[in-house]
Amino acid sequence: MSPTENDTNAPNYGFETLAVHAGARPDPTTGARSTPIFQSNAFVFQDAEHAAELFNLQTFGFIYSRLTNPTVSVLEERVCALENGRAAVACATGHAAQFLLAATLLEAGDEFVASKNLYGGSITQFGLSFAKLGWTCHFADMTDADALRAVMNHKIKFIFCEALANPGGVVLDLEALAGVARDWGVPLVVDNTLATPYLCRPFDWGADIVVHSATKYIGGHGNTMGGVVAESGKFDWYQNDKFPCMTQPDPAYHGLTFAETFGDFGFSMRLRAVTLRDYGPTLSAQSAWNLLQGVETLPLRMERHCANAQVIAEFLDSHPKIAWVSYAGLTSSPYHALARKYLPKGAGAVFTFGVKGGFAAGETVVNAVEIFSHLANVGDTRSLIIHPASTTHRQLTPEQQDAAGAGPDVIRLSIGIESVADLIADLEQALART
């Protein structure tokens, strides 16, 4: 298996260069410059000794595509490089990434804390489905580090938040949250899906693990599902006794201890060699190849996404039929200062607003748009629109919807890369019908 680790001795290339080249080389057999799709379930061993070393994790290479695949490895190394991390593991979806993270760190009876401002599907996964596995999630208002401190206890194994929350555009103070995590000796896990490493690198602010739904901006074209878990390599697993999975011998590998054997990429190795191996939400080679095409244009797309979003947010903020706009790029936003600190290149391209007239007016708008697509996704090249309370967040209680910034009057936009004048005209004609 490949460690998919970020080469600490590599030149300090710029983000745009890494987005195109990190993790990839011309194919040594054919000379192909584009990363090939290695559509193979398994890989030939050199001899019996080589096979034994691979299965014992004594050497790196490829065994079986449920664990590693050459095309998938390029994606892992590239996202790891963009995040300025140490190692990464790709998987089938963003939800799979969150599951693998939790299944690696938690035992039955363990607990973790998550931000109240999360994607509705994450709230359901954490609060309901994880509970069936014996994992307890406490939801906290992480806009206030003291509120997070108030819910911490010694059973908690990690803190989870979104750098830029979906859908409300809440920007969290990552440095402050990392301070709480350090005080309690647990990792800070940051979902960086909406910000992407182009806008924010959570590791630079003290985070220990980053997760992505690569389905969104990483892929960027609304055609491929995927997830990624990356680690900074800086967390000290030996500082307490909370993580026996990392610090105690693993019976499946003849007593190997992941933190000791693999050092600063031990977490990624355990997530791959144990959790991904046994639960199996593998990313296919074809999907990895699709996502790689998106990564190459990530910086170009994010520049346009953010520029368009800023103009449209300002347009809506001054429109007489709009009650409010929640976008951290607006000076009126309570998160504007945090956005300037953590997202200096732009406040993202997903935000919410409320139409005067509430639920009924919101329905009119989503039914009347022509360029915007009414669907449940974000991070596409195309501009998207949805009413979260009746779709992505419908499984939540009204109180949870309000807490997540997805109340009955809320419309969420994911701004694409089209001509901004056309997008404004489309919203204008839709609003005229309310």
- Do 341 and 314 belong to one domain? yes
Q: What is the pLDDT of residues 262-286, one digit of tens each?
A: 999 999 999 999 999 999 999 999 9
pLDDT at 6 (0 to 100): 56
What pLDDT digit, counting tens, does each position of 327-350 carry?
999 999 999 999 999 999 999 999
| pLDDT per residue as tens digits for the range 323-332 | 999 999 999 9
Q: Are residues 244 and 390 in the same domain?
A: no
242 in any annotated domain: yes
Same domain, 147 and 245: yes
Q: Check residue 10 and give its pLDDT.
A: 56
Which of 54-68, 74-88, 357-371 is most confident?
A: 74-88
Rounded to whole angstroms, the Cα distance separating 279 from 171 reads: 33
Q: What's the CATH code of the domain at 53?
A: 3.40.640.10
Local structure of 60: helix, strand or coil = coil
CB 272 within 8 A of CB 1: yes
Q: Where are the alpha helices (DSSP H) in 343-390?
A: 358-368
Statement to judge: residues 186 and 312 lie in one domain = no
149 and 267 both lie in a single domain: yes
pLDDT at residue 415 greater than cutoff 80: yes
Which of 231, 262, 295 is the C-terminal boundary of a domain?
A: 295
Residue 257 domain-assigned?
yes
Residue 136, in any domain of the structure: yes
The pLDDT assigned to 298 comes to 98
Smallest Cα–Cα separation from 96: which of 222, 212, 224, 245?
Answer: 212
Lowest mean pLDDT among 78-87, 259-268, 276-285, 403-412: 403-412
| Residues sharing a CB contact under 8 Å with residue 208, sequence separation 6 or more, in sequence order | 181, 187, 188, 189, 231, 232, 234, 235
Is 203 within a domain? yes
Query: Would you state the pLDDT for residue 12?
Result: 87
pLDDT at 403 over 80: no
- pLDDT score recorded for residue 359: 79
Quickly state the pLDDT bin for 400 (edges 50, 70, 90): confident
Rounded (10°) CA dihedral 130, 69, 163, 204? 130
Q: Are residues 376 and 247 in the same domain?
A: no
Average pLDDT along the chain: 94
Residue 5: is its pLDDT beyond 80? no
pLDDT of 419 reads: 98
Same domain (yes/no): 334, 284: no
pLDDT for 394 beyond 90: no
331 and 286 in a single domain? The answer is no
Asked if 89 and 96 touch (Cβ cutoff 8 Å), the reply is no
Residue that is last in its domain, among 260, 295, 330: 295
Please tell me the predicted confidence (pLDDT) of residue 8: 46
Question: What is the structure's pLDDT at 108?
Answer: 96
Task: Answer whether 366's CB lies under 8 Å from 386's CB.
Answer: yes
- Assess if residue 53 is contained within a domain: yes
One domain for residues 143 and 226? yes
Q: How far apart are CA 269 and CA 297, in angstroms?
A: 29
- Reported as a single tens digit per residue, the pLDDT across 101-122 is 999 999 999 999 999 999 888 9
- Domain contains 10: no
> Which pLDDT band, with edges at 50, 70 and 90, does 2 fall under?
very low
In a domain, 398, yes or no: yes
pLDDT at position 94 is: 98
Instruction: Give the integer Cα–Cα distance in Å for 211 and 206.
Output: 15
DSSP state of 253: G
Mean pLDDT within 161-166: 94
How many Cβ atoms sit within 10 Å of the Cβ of residue 134? Answer: 11
pLDDT band at 7; cut points 50, 70, 90: low
pLDDT at 128: 95
Q: Is residue 304 over pLDDT 80?
A: yes
Separation between Cα atoms, residue 313 and residue 371, nearest integer Å: 17
Report if pTM > 0.75.
Answer: yes
Distances (CA, A) of 81 to 11, 110, 292, 348, 395: 11, 31, 13, 21, 36
* Domain identity same for 252 and 359: no
Cis before 251 (ω within 30): no
Shortest CA distance to 191 belongs to which of 161, 155, 224?
Answer: 161
Q: Output the domain CATH number for residue 312.
A: 3.90.1150.10
**What local confidence, expressed as pLDDT, does residue 351 receive?**
95
228-262 residue pLDDT tens: 999 999 999 999 999 999 999 999 898 999 999 99
Q: Answer whether residue 5 is part of any domain.
A: no
For residues 379 and 215, is the Cβ–Cβ distance under 8 A? yes
Same domain, 138 and 184: yes
How many structural domains compose the chain?
Answer: 2
For residue 356, the enclosing domain spans 299-431
Q: What's the rounded mean pLDDT across residues 222-226?
A: 97
Average pLDDT, integer, range 28-41: 94
Final residue in a domain of this structure, among 295, 320, 341: 295
- DSSP per position, 127-190: IIIGGGGT-EEEEE-TTSHHHHHHH--TTEEEEEEESB-TTT--B--HHHHHHHHHHHT--EEE
| pLDDT at res. 169 | 80
Looking at the fold, whether 290 and 311 belong to one and the same domain comes out as no
Strand partners, 326: 352
Lowest mean pLDDT among 1-5, 190-194, 198-202: 1-5
pLDDT at residue number 358: 81
pLDDT at 3: 45
